[in-house]
Structure 1
């Protein structure tokens, strides 16, 4: 919407942070969508004469109230190991070993076996996606190998610096076929009755078949986060393979390693011993530490901060300390029940437990809990619903007086869909347009 710059200039930025501005804009948009209300744009000619709402649909008004605000909340959550990750095999063969549900698997430990070859865990963020067999290969998957072998104590030598150019070794030339090699069934050996081939470049008794030339070397510039498959790194891979009882080839295939963010817990085992490894899901993984997932109404997110301390009420009525560790950036609406309206928009908040809290829930894999979010209280402040806020294109916020002008406001405390507002012309009892 086009906003009156005269109205916008009447207020400063206020104490709100960029994060809060982003949330208010998003929450106001959610409220508009939920109410199905459209507001026409406002125009200004510099005199402020034409700043009234031009209604395209019926809107609701609400009075500015003086009230006490508290952003303390107690919400329902689920204690568990967090979201699961599915694991599928990259290499074909038969499954010959699987871990037990609940097992913890750390770096360099086997996760499963295919054709009795162990598939091990490395830590990182990029999976192995190709065969690492050529000196001079560059990429983030190689950086995973570099980091893990270093962490395991292997000397991998020096790595080329970021910005340097690396030349990949030429691929080896393919071997020419043996003179007495059998011809594939059904293959045509010649287009001529005497067995000679008249096509250009084809072998004849007077012109023996040429050996294919090796591919030309490629040059790659090393970027931030890349690793380089050097001769020293390939030697380190050989030593690591020997220590694990594997053939010391210096080559890694994508199916040799499963890359995880850290140590993992086996949540469930899906496959059977002897099954085709690539036929489907083998197992699922979770984090090894417990946390609490709490769905929070999007309109209440202004009062929840990263790192904030919380109290978790456990099923046995005891409590455990925790803190907000992750706030999702995805806003999701609950699906509507049959014939009903969709539920309120929610944001997932993850609460982690400290050592004391983890000890109290050591014997609980999953449970419903209550989470108390500590907050603050303000008394006697002017407040409106969050849905009454309008984000101005030039920054800041405003409210629309019923049949009147836009009034720029500074936002303060948020609590349960209500926001503290101050500004010129903002007083108790005036009616403002709102979408919630």
Structure 2
């Protein structure tokens, strides 16, 4: 009895709406269709509208496209490092590189040094050791100053220890004798040698600063790299307190706000194709991906949160003279040409495992699934042919 066989087969089917997500995984959720597949043969309260669609031969691709914005990346604030009055500020758009003044306090320039950490203590005292000393040494060397030989990691250097003076014998000189402390240089640390102190003094003289070989907190602005002044927050004559300006990196980049689920599938170093504002295409690469998810500004409640993704432009000249504009970012994926495909809503998840499509006469046709893309799924198997009509939900 063909009709009875069809009813038995339909009774084994759990129809699921199969979603192709970012990981292209199939979720076979139990959902009984209303076309008489209920094993108890009862009429469901709600009926699902169904129709038929032809199996199509098409190209499927997992390429993804995001909307990006050309610019200089996320601005960061620059705060004053010492008290005083602002006597000079750069104009917006100015690029400031290593050794150049970023602003002036009390008519003294505050030059930009690159690296880390910022100055957090006075740089003075023979053989003072630390990462801040290494930062100063690297910058002076990059500016062309001779800093002499630096002790390597693991070496020990003597430092005066004023905390533990030895008292002289009564018969000796009344001048106290200062003990010497030996400090081991750790990886990444520099040492304030006599040669480095002399280099600081020469640099100060060239800058028109007090040439005493001592660096105070706030004498330098220390940032990861050269910067472009985005905007200034104070005026000449204001007190040097709080945020002075916002700066960005100097290279143009593309910034994308991507939904968390999609951003999680991106990795730094992934190659992309950028369609620039003038319509030309140029290669790029995924750079920094933020770790803080936020809702888009002005978005309605419930809008999916997004992560900020920075995309570097392989050829900086590709942006031309533009400082802003919309950019299409295409992430290349896998492409399968000329495959047979149906809408994912045509798939039936079989209770015993696997998938099938249903023909208009009620028969089930087992299929193997392949790539999912744009609401379509690749199918293959015996009897699966182009133009064959199958049932789908709508």
Q: TM-score w.r.t. structure 2 length?
A: 0.65
Q: 1:374 to 1:124 in 2, by over 3 A?
A: same
Matches of 1:413 and 1:351 in 2, distance apart? Answer: 30
Aligned residues: 304
Q: Alpha carbon RMSD of aligned pairs, Å?
A: 4.1
C-alpha displacement of 1:333: 4.9
Matches within 5 A, 1:276-287: 276-278=239-241, 280-287=242-249
Matches of 2:340 and 2:120 in 1, distance apart? Answer: 58
Instruction: Report Cα offsets for 1:322-355 as digits up to 9, x if no partner.
Output: 3114041526252697874241554524232513
Task: Kindly indicate whether the alpha-carbon contact (under 8 Å) linking 1:306 and 1:327 is maintained by their aligned counterparts in 2.
Answer: no
Unaligned runs of 5+ in 2: 1-21, 30-54, 165-173, 355-369, 379-394
Q: 1:349 to 1:68 in 2, by over 3 A?
A: farther
Bigger CA radius of gyration: 2
Matches of 2:229 and 2:134 in 1, distance apart? Answer: 26
Q: Please name the residue that 1:357 is paired with.
A: 318
1:292 paired residue among 244, 248, 254: 254
Matches of 1:368 and 1:212 in 2, distance apart? Answer: 73
Q: Which has the higher strand share?
A: 2
Provide the secondary structure at the position in 1 that maps to 2:149.
Answer: coil
Q: 1:345 to 1:266 in 2, by over 3 A?
A: closer
Structure 2 residue 130 is the aligned partner of structure 1 residue 169? no
Matches of 1:213 and 1:418 in 2, distance apart? Answer: 87
Q: Please name the residue that 1:89 is paired with.
A: 80
Matches of 1:74 and 1:102 in 2, distance apart? Answer: 31
Q: Please name the residue that 1:395 is paired with.
A: none
Task: Kindly indicate whether the alpha-carbon contact (under 8 Å) linking 1:336 and 1:343 is maintained by their aligned counterparts in 2.
Answer: no
Matches of 1:152 and 1:250 in 2, distance apart? Answer: 16
Matches within 5 A, 1:257-406: 257-278=220-241, 280-301=242-263, 302=265, 306-314=269-277, 317-328=278-289, 330=291, 332-334=293-295, 340-343=301-304, 345-346=306-307, 348-358=309-319, 360=320, 362=321, 364-378=322-336, 380=339
More deviation in 249-258 or 304-313?
304-313
Q: Please name the residue that 1:181 is paired with.
A: none
Matches of 2:219 and 2:247 in 1, distance apart? Answer: 18
1:148 paired residue among 135, 139, 144: 139
C-alpha displacement of 1:84: 0.9
Unaligned runs of 5+ in 1: 1-22, 38-64, 174-210, 386-400, 407-411, 421-436
